[in-house]
A and B are shown apart, each in its own frame.
Chain A
Amino acid sequence: MTEQSQQLEAITQKEYKAGFVTDIEVDSLPPGLNEDVVRQISLIKNEPEWMLEWRLKAFRHWLTMETPEWAHVHYPAIDYQEISYYSAPKKKTDGPKSLDEVDPELLKTYEKLGVPLDERARLAGVAVDAVFDSVSVSNTFKDKLAEEGILFMPISEAIQEHPELVKKYIGSVVPHKDNFYAALNSAVFTDGSFVYIPKGVRCPMELSTYFRINAANTGQFERTLIIADDDAYVSYLEGCTAPMRDENQLHAAVVELVAMDRAEIKYSTVQNWYPGDENGKGGIYNFVTKRAACRGESSKVSWTQVETGSAITWKYPSVVLQGDNSVGEFYSVAVTNNMQQADTGTKMIHLGKNTSSTIISKGISAGRSQNAYRGLVRIGPNAENARNYTECDSLLMSDTCGAHTFPYIEVKNPTAKVEHEASTSKISEDQLFYCKQRGLDAEDAVSMIVNGFCKQVIRELPMEFAVEAQNLLGLSLEGSVG
Chain B
Amino acid sequence: MLTIKNLHASVDGKEILRGIDLTVNPGEIHAIMGPNGAGKSTLSNVLAGREGYEITQGEVIYKGENLLELEPEERAQRGVFLAFQYPVEIPGVSNVYLLKAALNAVRKYQGLEEVDAMDFLTLVREKMKLVKMNEEFLHRNVNEGFSGGEKKRNEILQMAVLEPALAILDETDSGLDIDALRTVSEGVNALRAEDRSIVMITHYQRLLDHIVPDFVHVLSEGRIVKSGDKELAKELEKSGYSWIHDAPEGETA
Contact = CB atoms under 8 A, between A and B. Distances in A.
A2 interface: yes
A425 to B, nearest CB: 9
A438 B158 contact: yes
A430 interface: yes
Secondary structure of the A contact surface, majority rule: helix
Contact of B82 (A437, A445, A448): A437
Contacts of A442: 73
A52 interface: no
B213 interface: no
A449 interface: yes
Nearest to B161: A438
Nearest to A456: B92
Given A4-B51, A451-B93, A436 B88 contact: no
A430 B86 CA distance: 10
Given A429-B51, A436-B76, A439-B109, A452 B141 contact: yes
Contacts of A431: 88-90
A428 B86 CA distance: 14
A438 B154 CA distance: 13
The winner among A431, A434, A454 for most chain B CB atoms within 10 A is A434
B71 interface: yes
Interface string A437-478: 111111011001101111110000000000000000000000
A468 B82 CA distance: 33
Contacts of B77: 439
A428 B88 contact: yes
Interface stretch (B55-63, B100-108, B120-128, B218-226): B100-108
Contact of B162 (A438, A441, A454, A455): A438
Interface residues of B, number: 30
A439 B51 contact: no
B84 interface: yes
B72 A436 contact: yes
Contacts of A429: 51
B106 A449 contact: no
Nearest to B87: A434
B48 interface: yes
B129 interface: no
B114 to A, nearest CB: 13
A3 interface: yes
Nearest to B73: A436
Interface in A404-447: 428-431, 433-442, 444-445
Interface of B: 48-51, 71-73, 75-77, 81-82, 84, 87-93, 97-98, 101-102, 105-106, 109, 141, 158, 162
25 contacts: A4-B51, A435-B90, A435-B98, A436-B49, A437-B48, A437-B73, A437-B75, A437-B81, A438-B76, A439-B76, A439-B106, A439-B109, A439-B162, A440-B101, A441-B71, A444-B101, A448-B90, A448-B97, A448-B101, A449-B93, A451-B92, A452-B91, A452-B92, A454-B92, A455-B93
Q: Would you list the 10 A-B pairs with minimal beta carbon distance, nearest first?
A: A452-B92, A439-B105, A452-B93, A455-B92, A438-B102, A439-B76, A434-B88, A436-B72, A436-B73, A430-B88
Interface of A: 2-4, 428-431, 433-442, 444-445, 448-449, 451-456
Given A433-B48, A440-B105, A448-B97, 18 more contacts: A433-B51, A433-B88, A434-B90, A436-B72, A436-B73, A437-B81, A437-B84, A438-B98, A439-B77, A439-B105, A439-B109, A444-B101, A448-B98, A451-B92, A452-B90, A452-B93, A455-B93, A456-B92
